[in-house]
Amino acid sequence: MTTTQSPCEFTGGCLLKIKLNEIVESIIEVYDEKGEKYFKDYGVKENALKLLSQDEPSVWIHSPFHATRAKKALGLAYILNRENLESLYAKKKSFLEEQKDFGLMSFNSFYSSLKSASYMDTDPKP
């Protein structure tokens, strides 16, 4: 590129702008078709908890790292003050052990910090 050429001229000028517009339009189209519904469905904490509590391969696309998905599920269960936090922990721990997941220690640590939080062992919030 010489000092008299603009970056737009050097990279193809108008062709680059047309491609960029096509890309942006394509992203907006996909969002309109699928993204809005996805965020509407899984933006609800209870729906996200139900999804993240599963470990079937069909769910991996939503959260592909097993320990991360497990921590998200525990965190949501904690926030929603679910009584089944211990059973969810046991289920997720068992899955992570079966998978020999490298995030198992982090998951256990996360659970320990939730367990030591003040209101976990008290009556559910109103």
Q: What is the DSSP string of the chain?
A: --TTS-HHHHTTTHHHHHHHHHHHHHHHHHIIIIIHHHHHHHTSHHHHHHHHT--SGGGTTTS-SHHHHHHHHHHHHHHTT-TTHHHHHHHHHHHHHHHT-TTHHHHHHHHHHHHTSTTTTSPPP-
Q: Give me the residue spans of the domains in the chain.
A: 1-42, 45-126
- pTM, two decimals, is 0.72
In a structure prediction context, what are the per-residue pLDDT tens digits for the chain, which is 126 residues long? 455 555 555 555 566 667 888 888 999 999 999 998 999 999 999 999 999 999 999 999 999 999 999 999 999 999 998 888 999 999 999 999 999 999 999 999 999 999 888 555 555 544
Is residue 39 within 8 Å of 58, Cβ to Cβ?
no
